[in-house]
C-alpha cells in the first residue's frame, strides 16, 4: 500500500494515516487479513515519530478497521455485517421483488393484482415428492418423514399436473429437475433435494475390517448397482460382499451371516430384516436438505 504524509499540513499525521488506510480498505486495496507495515517500518520510512504511527493504529483499531495480534502485528479486520432479523431479511426480499418487477416495466396495478392473487391463495398444506421411480420415492419418502412432521405425498412426473399440486410444495431430486419443471405450471415453487456425497459418507468406513461379510440390501436396484460400483472402486473385495434385492422372494438368504447390513432408509424399516448384523443406513438426502425439511411446519407456512 502506498502512503503519503505532509508534515506541514493542518491535518494531524496520525489522521492522515487513518484516512488513507480506511480508504484503502474500502476500495479493496487492503484485504481482510492483510498485515499493515510495522510502526517501526513506517516511522523510519517517513521520518515520523513512532508514537504518531502508534496513535494512528490505535485509532484504526478503535474504529473497528484493524486488529492487533500479539507478537505478530496489525492486520485488516474482517468487516462482518450485523446479524439480520427475519423481518429485515424479509424486507430485503420484498424490496428485491419490487425492483425486479419495475425492471419488467409492468404497471403498478398489475403487480399489485398478481401479489393479491398469491396472498389470497390457500397456504400449502403438504409436500409433494415428484419422481418417476416408485422404489426411489419409497426411500425418499422414508427420509423426508424422518426429517419433518409436515405431510408429504408422492406423484410420478406424468401425474403431477392432474390435481396433485393443490396445496402442494413440489420436491424432486437434482437429476429430475428439468423434467419436473417442464411438467409444472409457470411460477410454481419447486424444491430440489440435495443428495448426500457417497464418497464422503463411505470414507470413514474404509478400509473395512478383514474377515467380515457385508450385505448390501435394498428394494431399489439402482442402490445395489451404485453400491457395488462404489465399494469395488474403494477396494472392498468382492468376496466380502453380498447383494440382496429385498423385493425378491427369500431375499434374506445369507444376510443373517453378515457382520453388517448396508441399506437405505426404507429397507431399514422392513420387518424381515435380520436382527443380528449391524444395520448401516445410507441416507440419500444431504444433511442440509434434512435441516431445511425440519423447518417445515403447518405454522411456518400460514401466510
Same domain, yes or no: 103 and 143: no
Sign of CA dihedral 267, 272, 275, 277: negative
pLDDT, position 118: 80
Residue 256 lies inside a defined structural domain of this protein? yes
**Residue 14: all three cell numbers together:** 496520525
What is the total count of domains within the chain? 4
Same domain, yes or no: 275 and 297: no
Find the domain containing 228 and state its range: 198-282
pLDDT, position 161: 61
How far apart are alpha carbons 73 and 223 in whole angstroms?
Answer: 55
Q: What is the pLDDT of residues 172-205, one digit of tens each?
A: 999 999 989 888 888 788 999 999 998 888 888 8
Same domain, yes or no: 208 and 271: yes
pLDDT, position 182: 87
Same domain, yes or no: 256 and 299: no
Residue 164 lies inside a defined structural domain of this protein? yes
Long-range (24+ apart) CB contacts under 8 A made by 224-229 are: 226/198, 227/262, 227/282
Same domain, yes or no: 17 and 137: no
Same domain, yes or no: 135 and 210: no
**Residue 255: all three cell numbers together:** 444376510
Residue 104 lies inside a defined structural domain of this protein? yes
Q: What is the pLDDT of residues 233-267, one digit of tens each?
A: 888 898 999 999 999 999 998 899 999 999 999 99
Which CATH number is 182's domain given?
3.40.50
Same domain, yes or no: 181 and 293: yes
Residue 264 lies inside a defined structural domain of this protein? yes
Same domain, yes or no: 191 and 126: yes
Residue 5 lies inside a defined structural domain of this protein? no
Residue 4 lies inside a defined structural domain of this protein? no
Same domain, yes or no: 163 and 301: yes
State CA 128 to chain mean position distance: 21
Residue 180 lies inside a defined structural domain of this protein? yes
Q: Whole-prediction pTM value?
A: 0.65
Q: What is the pLDDT of residues 131-187, one digit of tens each?
A: 999 999 999 999 999 999 999 999 987 665 656 788 889 999 999 999 898 888 887
Same domain, yes or no: 149 and 221: no
Residue 6 lies inside a defined structural domain of this protein? no
Amino acid at each position: 500500500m502506498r502512503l503519503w504524509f505532509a508534515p506541514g499540513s493542518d491535518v494531524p499525521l496520525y489522521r492522515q494515516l487513518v484516512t488513507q488506510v480506511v480508504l484503502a480498505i474500502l476500495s479493496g486495496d487492503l484485504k481482510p487479513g492483510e498485515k499493515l507495515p510495522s510502526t517501526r517500518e513506517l516511522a523510519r520510512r517517513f521520518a515520523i515519530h513512532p508514537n504518531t504511527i502508534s496513535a494512528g493504529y490505535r485509532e484504526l483499531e478503535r474504529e473497528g478497521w484493524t486488529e492487533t495480534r500479539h507478537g505478530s502485528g496489525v492486520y485488516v479486520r474482517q468487516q462482518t455485517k450485523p446479524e439480520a432479523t427475519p423481518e429485515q431479511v424479509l424486507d430485503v426480499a420484498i424490496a428485491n421483488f419490487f425492483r425486479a418487477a419495475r425492471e419488467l416495466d409492468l404497471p403498478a396495478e398489475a403487480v399489485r393484482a398478481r401479489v393479491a392473487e398469491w396472498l389470497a391463495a390457500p397456504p400449502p398444506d403438504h409436500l409433494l415428492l415428484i419422481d418417476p421411480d416408485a422404489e426411489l420415492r419409497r426411500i425418499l419418502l422414508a427420509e423426508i418423514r424422518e426429517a419433518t412432521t409436515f405431510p408429504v405425498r408422492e406423484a410420478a412426473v406424468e401425474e403431477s399436473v392432474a390435481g396433485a399440486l393443490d396445496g402442494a410444495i413440489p420436491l424432486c431430486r437434482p437429476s429430475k429437475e428439468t423434467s419436473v419443471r417442464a411438467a409444472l405450471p409457470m411460477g410454481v415453487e419447486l424444491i430440489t433435494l440435495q443428495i448426500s456425497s457417497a464418497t464422503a459418507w463411505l470414507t470413514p468406513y474404509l478400509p473395512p475390517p478383514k474377515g467380515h461379510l457385508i450385505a448390501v440390501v435394498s428394494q431399489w436396484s439402482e442402490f445395489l448397482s451404485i453400491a457395488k460400483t462404489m465399494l469395488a472402486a474403494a477396494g472392498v473385495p468382492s468376496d466380502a460382499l453380498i447383494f440382496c434385492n429385498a423385493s425378491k422372494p427369500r431375499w434374506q438368504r445369507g444376510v443373517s451371516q453378515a457382520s453388517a447390513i448396508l441399506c437405505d432408509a426404507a429397507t431399514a424399516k422392513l420387518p424381515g430384516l435380520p436382527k443380528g448384523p449391524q444395520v448401516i443406513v445410507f441416507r440419500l438426502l444431504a444433511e442440509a436438505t434434512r435441516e431445511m425439511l425440519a423447518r417445515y411446519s403447518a405454522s411456518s407456512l400460514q401466510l
